[in-house]
């Protein structure tokens, strides 16, 4: 692990408090906050990589204490999706977090989070059915609901999310505004492989051919940015330029490539203000995401 840069032996501190129950997590975070600590939360589904760790670094830089949650949330997976085979490596994740001097790890089981089927859901209307929400019905309802639960359980001052999941970030920001959560939401930049592929726990599913083809997501975004920099502002033309890269690959199936308002996720026809270009594509059964920001 040390050889791939995840574990910094020099900063090793064996202390990370692992909380498996809501009660233990709440007691631990309250104890920290009572001492005056500004607490940061990094919600994850585990199988940690450098993308997750960039959020941990941001949290450590901005907070006195850091909590990470690891929970593969069943309610954000559709019936035919990869919930059962989603990569899980709890021991390795613990070791990584221990070596990053994370203070608290909240790792509940599904029964702890959902002792009975939920009757109450958080649905961010108008945003939850856009981008990934269109091809994954119910996904963002599951995400918003579990993040709301995590916010109530951990009671962090600040929560850190990756720009990699830009629609998720927009939905959480809107939920926090609408429901007056007392948490500050911080978005962190996308961490990439040297060839541009955005890091994702799902990259582990890719075979060598799919792994190579997966860089096309990033390349299509780069092509759009080039067209944009040379003055093109019509979304239709920008999207067509990006699609030309993606259609060349027989093993890649495009889910969507859209230019949207970064807050409302509504489609944009002409890029006259800051916009989000978001792409999702299947490589075999694996669905990958990427995005970039267009700044006029
Ligand atoms: P996940 O475990 O996939 O649910 O991701 C947990 C958090 O890590 C989310 O806020 C993601 O947006 C963020 N994240 C995942 N991959 C990356 C990446 N490549 N760069 C930055 N943040 C990421």
Collapsing DSSP to helix, strand or coil, 260 comes out as: strand
Task: Give the active site residues.
Answer: 52
pLDDT at 6: 36
pLDDT in tens, 19-46: 999 999 999 999 999 999 999 999 999 9
pLDDT in tens, 165-207: 999 999 999 999 999 999 999 999 999 999 999 999 999 999 9
pLDDT in tens, 213-247: 999 999 999 999 999 999 999 999 999 999 999 99
Is 70 exceeded by the pLDDT of residue 108?
Answer: yes
Ligand 1 atom nearest to 168, measured from its CA = 12
167 within 8 A of 259, measured Cβ to Cβ: no
The radius of gyration of the chain from alpha carbons, rounded to an integer in Å, stands at 19
Pocket lining: 51 vs ligand 1, CB cutoff 6 Å: yes
Distance 292 CA to ligand 1 centre (A): 15
Q: How far apart are CA 106 and CA 69, in angstroms?
A: 5
Distance of CA 202 to the CA centre of its chain: 12
C-alpha dihedral over 162, 166, 167, 169, to 10 degrees?
Answer: 40
Distance 189 CA to ligand 1 centre (A): 10
Q: Whose CA is nearest to atom 15 of ligand 1?
A: 51
pLDDT at 69: 99
Q: What pTM was computed for the model? A: 0.95
Confidence class for position 15, pLDDT limits 50, 70, 90:
confident
How large a percentage of the chain has pLDDT more than 70?
95
Q: Whose CA is nearest to atom 17 of ligand 1?
A: 51
Q: Whose CA is nearest to atom 5 of ligand 1?
A: 44
pLDDT at 14: 60
Ligand 1 pocket test, candidate residues 57, 159, 162, 188, most atoms within 8 A of CB:
162
Instruction: Read off the DSSP letter of residue 180.
Output: T
Pocket lining: 191 vs ligand 1, CB cutoff 6 Å: yes
Is 90 exceeded by the pLDDT of residue 5?
Answer: no
Pocket lining: 286 vs ligand 1, CB cutoff 6 Å: no
Ligand 1 atom nearest to 161, measured from its CA = 10
pLDDT in tens, 50-102: 999 999 999 999 999 999 999 999 999 999 999 999 999 999 999 999 999 99
> DSSP per residue over 165-218, as a string?
GHHHHHHHHHHHHHHT-S-EEEEEPPPB-TTSPBP-GGGGG--HHHHHHHHHHH
Pocket lining: 44 vs ligand 1, CB cutoff 6 Å: yes
Distance 162 CA to ligand 1 centre (A): 5
Q: Whose CA is nearest to atom 12 of ligand 1?
A: 162
105 within 8 A of 68, measured Cβ to Cβ: yes
Pocket lining: 190 vs ligand 1, CB cutoff 6 Å: yes
40 within 8 A of 63, measured Cβ to Cβ: yes
50 within 8 A of 37, measured Cβ to Cβ: no
Q: Is 173 exposed, middle or buried (0-12, 13-18, 19+ CB in 10 A)?
A: middle
Pocket lining: 162 vs ligand 1, CB cutoff 6 Å: yes
Query: Which residue from 95, 106, 96, 35 is spatially nearest to 67, judged by alpha carbons?
Result: 106
Pocket lining: 55 vs ligand 1, CB cutoff 6 Å: yes
């Amino acid at each position: 692990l040390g050889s791939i840069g995840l574990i910094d032996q020099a900063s090793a501190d064996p202390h990370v408090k692992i909380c498996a129950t809501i009660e233990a997590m709440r007691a631990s975070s309250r104890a920290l906050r009572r001492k005056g600590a500004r607490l940061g939360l990094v919600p994850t589904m585990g199988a940690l990589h450098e993308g997750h760790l960039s959020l941990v670094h941001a949290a450590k830089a901005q907070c006195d204490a850091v909590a990470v949650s690891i929970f593969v949330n069943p309610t954000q997976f559709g019936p035919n999706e990869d919930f059962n085979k989603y990569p899980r490596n709890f021991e390795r994740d613990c070791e990584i977090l221990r070596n990053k001097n994370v203070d608290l790890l909240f790792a509940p089981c599904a029964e702890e989070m959902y002792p009975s089927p939920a009757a109450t859901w958080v649905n961010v209307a108008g945003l939850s059915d856009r981008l990934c929400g269109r091809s994954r019905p119910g996904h963002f309802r599951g995400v918003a609901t579990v993040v709301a639960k995590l916010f109530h359980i951990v009671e962090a001052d600040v929560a850190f999310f990756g720009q990699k999941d830009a629609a998720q970030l927009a939905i959480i920001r809107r939920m926090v505004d609408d429901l007056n959560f007392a948490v500050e939401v911080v978005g962190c930049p996308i961490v990439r492989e040297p060839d541009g592929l955005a890091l994702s726990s799902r990259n582990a599913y890719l075979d060598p051919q799919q792994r190579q083809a997966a860089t096309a997501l990033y390349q299509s975004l780069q092509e759009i940015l080039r067209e944009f920099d040379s003055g093109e502002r019509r979304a239709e033309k920008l999207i067509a330029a990006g699609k030309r890269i993606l259609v060349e690959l027989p093993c890649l199936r495009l889910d969507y490539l859209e230019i949207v308002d970064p807050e409302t996720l509504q489609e944009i026809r002409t890029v006259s203000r800051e916009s989000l270009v978001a792409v999702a594509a299947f490589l075999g059964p694996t669905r990958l995401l990427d995005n970039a920001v267009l700044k006029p």
